Amino acid sequence: MILHSLAVGPLDVNCYVAACPRSREALVIDPGGDEERIWQLLTAQRLTLRYVVNTHGHFDHVGGNAYLVKQSGAGLLIHGRDLKLLEAMSSQGAMFGCRLEASPPPARFLEDKEVLTVGDLRFTVIHTPGHTQGGVSLLAEGHLFSGDTLFAGSVGRTDLPGGDYDLLMASIHDRLLILPDETIVHPGHGPETTIGREKIHNPFLTENRDRI
């Protein structure tokens, strides 16, 4: 897998560009801003953008949707339960002093356990609600893109509309911590980690170690 990470937008979201070395097909996960820089990376690497994937609908993860879809014609994908958040992205951003171009509508909605094909790569969609109702993670070749569900040493906040702490913890314990310990976790903010490291060191998870 060709994999690039860029910290973008006003809240330093980790945007990921993942591509198949053979076909040069790519998907972009969470283009939260600095969309021209993302596009420059794609063109410099001679990558064809097939999908733009939003792990959830918060404004800091979707700000570059419109630009990238216009430039590439790529399909925009998000879970249906976050559509209202996506549609409200401009008003969300205004609360933080950010002016954002409204996102185009999704090409279709992501479904739990579906597989996105990008060249020879297969990305499995894992519905991980809690931070938002439609939050998803993506798993491919031992790499987990966890959005704002799981971080190095922390978990996603649940005090925003649609957040649910118990649901978030169930998503993490029942859907993510069952993955192999060596699975590399690429979160929506901050440094990468592994499933095994979080089982041992994440204070939000070690409180309920009996569930691991």
Kindly tell me the sign of the dihedral angle through the C-alpha atoms of 86, 132, 147, 174: negative
Give tens-digit pLDDT for 134-170.
Answer: 999 999 999 999 999 999 999 999 998 889 999 999 9
Please write down the HEC assignment for all residues of the chain: CEEEEEEECCCCEEEEEEECCCCCEEEEECCCCCHHHHHHHHHHCCCEEEEEECCCCCHHHHCCHHHHHHHHCCEEEEEHHHHHHHHCHHHHHHHCCCCCCCCCCCCEEECCCCEEEECCEEEEEEECCCCCCCCEEEEECCEEEEECCEECCEECCCCCCCCCHHHHHHHHHHHHCCCCCCCEEEECCCCCEEHHHHHHHCHHHHCCHHHC
Return the pLDDT at 77. 98
CA dist., res. 148 & res. 85, Å (int): 14
Return the pLDDT at 212. 43
pTM over cut 0.85: yes
Q: Where are the domains of the chain?
A: 2-211
Please state the φ and ψ torsions of residue 79, each to the nearest 5 degrees.
-70, 140
- In 3D space, the residue among 90, 11, 26 whose CA is nearest the CA of residue 57 turns out to be 90
- For residues 65 and 103, the answer to whether their CB atoms sit within 8 Å is yes
Architecture of domain 2-211: 4-Layer Sandwich (3.60)
Return the pLDDT at 157. 96
Average pLDDT, the chain: 94
CA dist., res. 26 & res. 8, Å (int): 18
Residue 205, judged by CB atoms within 10 A of its CB (0-12, 13-18, 19+), counts as: buried
Give tens-digit pLDDT for 164-204.
Answer: 999 999 999 999 999 999 999 999 999 999 999 999 999 99
